[in-house]
Structure 1
Amino acid sequence: MTPRPALASSLAVDVAIVGAGLTGLWTAYYLAAARPDLRIAVVEREIAGFGASGRNGGWASALFPASLATLARLSSREAALAQHQAMRASVDEVIAVAATEGIDADIAKGGTVVLARTGPQLARARAEVAEARSWGREDLTLLSEAEARARLDAAGTLGATYTADCAALHPAKLVRGLASVVEGRGVAIYEQTPALAIAPHAVTTPAGTITADIVVRATEGYTSSLPGLERALVPVYSLIIATAPLPASVWAEIGLAERETFSDHRNLIVYGQRTADDRLVFGGRGAPYHLGSSIRPGFDRDERVFASLYATLLEMFPVLRGTRVTHSWGGALGIPRDWCASVGLDPTTGLAWAGGYVGDGVTTTNLAGRTLRDLILGRPSELTALPWVGHRSPLWEPEPLRWLGINAGLRAMSLADAEETITGRRSIAARLMAPLLGGH
Structure 2
Amino acid sequence: MNAPLAPGFVNGDVSFWYRSLGVPSPAEPLAGDVQADVAVVGAGYTGLWTAYYLKKADPGLRIAVLEKEFAGFGASGRNGGWLAGLLPGSAARYAKRHGRDSAIRFQREMFAAVDEVIKVAADEAIDADVVKGGLFNVARTPAQAARLRAEIAGQRAWGWTSDDVDLLSPHETATRIRVEGALAASWSPHCARIQPAKLARGLAQAVRDLGVTIYEGTPVTEIGPGRAVTPGGTVRAELVLRCTEGFTAAVPGHHRDWLPMNSSMIVTEPLANWDEIGWDGRELLGDMAHYYMYAQRTADDRIAFGGRGRPYLYASRLDDRGHTHDWTVDALWRLLTGFFPALRETRVEHAWSGVLGVPRDWCATVGLDRRGGLGWAGGYTGHGVAAANLAGRTLADLSLGRETGLTSLPWVGRRVRRWEPEPLRWLGVHSMYRLYRLADAREAGGMPRTSVLARIADMITGH
Q: TM-score, normalised by structure 1?
A: 0.98
How big is the shift at 1:132? 1.5
1:199 to 203, 219, 224: 224
**1:81 equivalent among 104, 109, 116:** 104
> CA separation in 1, counterparts of 2:117 and 2:83?
8
**Cα displacement (A) at 1:435:** 3.2
Task: Provide the secondary structure at the position in 1 that maps to 2:88.
Answer: coil
Cα-to-partner distance string for 1:393-425 (whole Å, 9 max, x where unaligned): 210001110011011111111111001112524
Structure 2 residue aligned with 1:173: 198
Aligned residue for 1:387?
410
Give the structure 2 partner of residue 429 of structure 1: 453
- The correspondence for 2:262, drawn from 232, 237, 245, is 237
- Partner in structure 1 of residue 151 of structure 2: 128
Output the amino acid matched with 2:141: T
Q: Is the 8 A contact 1:286 1:410 kept in 2?
A: no
Q: Distance in 2 between matches of 1:47 and 1:148?
A: 41
Mapped pair 1:348 → 2:348: no
- Mapped to 1, the partners of 2:209 and 2:397 lie a distance apart of 22
Task: Choose 140-149 or 113-122, whichever is displaced more.
Answer: 140-149
Residue of structure 2 aligned with 1:38, choices 58, 61, 71: 61
> Which aligned pairs between 1:47-66 and structure 2 lie closer than 5 A?
47-66=70-89
Name the counterpart of 1:260: 283
**CA distance in structure 1 between the partners assigned to 2:145 and 2:214 by the alignment:** 47
Q: Is the 8 A contact 1:345 1:376 kept in 2?
A: yes
Amino acid paired to 1:172 = A
SS in 2 for 1:422: coil
The percentage of aligned residue pairs carrying the same residue is 51
Name 2:5's counterpart in structure 1. Answer: none
Q: Tell me how far apart the structure 2 counterparts of residues 384 and 123 of structure 1 sit (CA, whole Å).
A: 37
CA distance in 2, matches of 1:383, 1:305: 39
2:284 maps to a residue whose letter is T
Q: CA deviation at 1:333?
A: 0.8
**Given the superposition, is the C-alpha separation of residues 336 and 300 from structure 1 closer, same or farther in structure 2, using an over 3 Å criterion?**
farther
CA deviation digits over 1:2-42, x for unaligned, max 9?
A: 32100000111000000000000000000010000000000
For 1:107, the equivalent position in structure 2 comes to 130
Q: CA deviation at 1:291?
A: 1.1
State the alpha-carbon separation in 1 of the partners of residues 251 and 344 from structure 2. 45
Measure the CA separation in 1 of the matches of 2:321 and 2:439: 28
Counterpart residue type for residue 155 of structure 1: E
What are the Cα deviations for residues 150-183 of structure 1, in whole angstroms up to 9, with x where unaligned? 1111111111111000000000000011001100
CA distance in 2: counterparts of 1:299 and 1:30, whole angstroms? 30
- Distance in 2 between the 1:335 and 1:2 partners? 29
- Return 175-184 or 289-298, whichever deviates more: 289-298
Cα distance in 2 for partners of 1:183, 1:60 equals 23
Q: Is the 8 A contact 2:265 2:306 kept in 1?
A: yes
Tell whether 2:295 aligns with 1:272: yes
| Cα deviation, residue 298, structure 1 | 6.1
- Verify the 8 A CA contact 2:244 2:378 in the aligned structure 1: yes
Q: Deviations over 1:279-319 (max 9, x none)?
A: 10000013141111011246631110111001101011001
Q: Supply the AA of the counterpart residue of 1:149.
A: A
Partner of 1:336: 359
Contact 2:88–2:387 at 8 Å: present in 1 too? no
Identify if the C-alpha distance between structure 1 residues 438 and 282 changes in structure 2 by more than 3 Å, giving closer, same or farther.
farther
Taking only aligned residues, the RMSD between alpha carbons, in angstroms, comes to 1.1
Structure 2: how far apart are the matches of 1:162 and 1:362?
19
Q: Secondary structure at the match of 1:286?
A: coil
Between the aligned partners of 2:211 and 2:226, the Cα distance in structure 1 is: 21
How far does residue 63 in structure 1 lie from its aligned partner after superposition? 1.1
1:186–1:298 Cα change, 3 Å: closer
Q: Secondary structure at the match of 1:407?
A: helix
Q: Does structure 1 conserve the Cα–Cα contact (< 8 Å) formed by 2:131 and 2:193?
A: yes
Q: How far apart are residue 433 of structure 1 and its match?
A: 1.1
Cα displacement string for residues 200-247 of structure 1 (whole angstroms, at most 9, x for unaligned residues): 110010011110000000001111111110100111110000011111
Q: For 1:373, which of 396, 413, 438 is the aligned residue? A: 396
Per the alignment, residue 290 of structure 1 pairs with 313
Q: Are 1:9 and 2:38 matched, yes or no? A: no
C-alpha contact 2:323 2:351 (8 A) present in aligned 1: no
Which stretch has the larger CA shift, 146-155 or 290-299? Answer: 290-299
- Tell me the CA shift for residue 55 of structure 1: 0.3
Please point out which of 157, 176, 182 is paired with 2:207: 182
Q: How far does residue 71 in structure 1 lie from its aligned partner after superposition? A: 1.2
Please list, as runs of the form range in 1=range in 2, the aligned pairs for 1:301-312 lying within 5 A after superposition: 301-312=324-335
Partners of 2:152 and 2:181 in 1: how far apart?
A: 21
1:25 is aligned to: 48
Distance 1:106 1:61 in 2: 15
Of 243, 257, 261, the residue aligned with 1:218 is 243
Contact 1:237–1:300 under 8 Å retained in 2 = no
Q: Which consecutive segments of 4 or more residues in structure 1 shift more than 6 A?
A: none
Aligned pair count reads 437
TM-score (norm 2): 0.93
**Contact 1:109–1:164 (CA<8 Å) still a contact in 2?**
yes
For 1:224, give the aligned amino acid: A
- What is the distance in 2 between the residues matched to 1:146 and 1:43? 51
Partner Cα distance (1:374, 1:233) in 2? 24
Q: Is the 8 A contact 2:141 2:446 kept in 1?
A: no
Q: Which amino acid aligns with 2:324?
A: R
CA contact (8 A) 1:268 1:286 kept: no
Cα distance per residue 1:44-73 (max 9 Å; x no partner): 000000000110000000112322111110
3-state secondary structure, aligned to 1:240: strand
Could you tell me whether the CA contact under 8 Å between 1:57 and 1:283 is conserved in 2? yes
2:444 match: secondary structure: helix
Name the SS of the counterpart of 2:126 in structure 1: coil
* Distance in 2 of aligned mates of 1:429 and 1:242: 31
Does the Cα contact within 8 Å between 2:28 and 2:215 map onto a contact in 1?
yes
